[in-house]
Structure 1
Amino acid sequence: MSLETGLAKTRGGIVSRLFGALRGAPEQKVTDEWMEILEESLLRADLSVSLVDPVMLQVRDVVREGRASTVPKVLDAVREALVAVLARPAPGGAAGGRPRVVLVVGVNGSGKTTTAAKLARLLRSGGERPLLAAADTFRAAAIEQLERWAQRVDVPIVSGRPEGDPAAVVFDAIEAARARGHTVVIADTAGRLHTKEHLMDELTKIVRVAGRAREGAPDEVLLVLDGTQGQNAIVQAREFTKAARVTGVVVTKLDGTAKGGAVFAIANDLGLPVRYLGVGEGPDDLVPMEPRAFVDALLPRADPGPSRA
């Protein structure tokens, strides 16, 4: 599924409000009424108030200073402001050599396990040699799920025993990857509720043991957040950042929500880069975050009629 298709619900709400108010005159001058519609549209897409307020202040300054007076020019200013929110640098390469180690963390139901498999497929298509690690040993079903997905995306897997030590699984996977020449280990961890302290402690242990298996590991800790939860996902995210050095965020299920603007709130409030987006249920429906492409998919550069340069 393409990014544009995956964001259709969110884009539809924004487009209908912004362009519907123009009544066939897309080049019309900006009015106070239209600016209010713009602000409401951003808020309804679940951008946080703490983000919308400075964006609107910046846009109003542009209008007041005469740098933009028509709707297309104002929307250009909005796009630039939103791109800047998402344009955070990704973490650098592995500091301790190969294999690179990526931990995938998050609560049950966020799409964490499928994200691990989809990421393995994405990296494999880019020339890497990934190895999956089924370290969610608290649920036998989770191990079986990742094993099915590993077969589906044609990536080898190291699995733990149900009720086994998840940190040991990650350790064994790193050792196996080193011996077999894999370039990256992607470990699926237990779906932890951010209110369960002992499970968060287990995550801290996994991070510590990964560092013993390969100095400097893990290289990335990707936190998977359910996009349909909107800004509520930020509360969960803050707890995870206390237990592990989260380096980036994956926002899933964007095809099933009209609140895709929460991606901006997540990046802004957490100060973390959004690394990948889940835009569908298929194995290829995980896409790297490209800020300008994301903003353009969310906020079209013309009204839904004939396209313009």
Structure 2
Amino acid sequence: MTRRILPGFRLSLGITLVYAAIIILLPLAALIFKAASLGPADYWRIVSSERAVASYGVTVGSALVATLFNLVFGLALAWVLVRYRFPGRRIVDALVDLPFALPTAVAGISLTTLFASNGWFGSALGEIGIKVAYTPLGIMVAMAFTSLPFIVRTVQPVLEELDPALEEAGQTLGSSDWSIFRRVILPLLTPALLAGTSLAFARSLGEFGAIIFIAGNQPFSTEITALLAFIRLEEYDYPASAAIASVMLFAAFVMLAVTNYLQARALRYTVKG
């Protein structure tokens, strides 16, 4: 008789699946059902309207820039936290998780206060002609702030588990630091980087609270898709809100599917190497 490690496996599995269906599948099904209540012509008219298309561009473009910034800065921050010891390291490490604990509305108000024309950062940047608050740059700042922990916390454990002997072998063979990083370390970090980047990008696409305070929310300029869906919701146009939201849902699914495929390929390459 085969004994399972966890008792009550079928019961625990059933409870887990029911819970996941209620929390995840049921809201998604409701969204899709409401969007499907529109005819194909009406659905296409809503999702392809000039204002909606402009919001897609603002949202995806800002999320892409914020994610690329976090990819570089998050990797550097994780590297410093793992490889160096300095006073205040534990404080910096704890601050990485601040966007997780801070309500997004509070984050948005704080960022707006800092980057407004009379704020600490905004006034200094204004002197060199850079305006952040109420511009697309403000959206990118809010997205970068809320999504940074995903990359740092995904890469950090992998860096901690890397065998120092690999780097020492490269140094023994006369390779430069950049060559060791590019040929030895980076391939091992690629799966984690892809996972963290996809999570950060998905979080940026769906961010709302931290953005609406600093964006200015001007149609065709600083209006994100989540806000447009919320506006249609406030107008009691539930099918239109669901239709707009379904576009971002589809984009998120496609992005995650592509990232998972690339991550699986990177893992196979790492194992073979």
Pair in the same fold by TM > 0.5 = no
Q: Which has the higher strand share?
A: 1
- Give me the TM-score of the superposition, normalised by structure 1: 0.27
More helix by share: 2
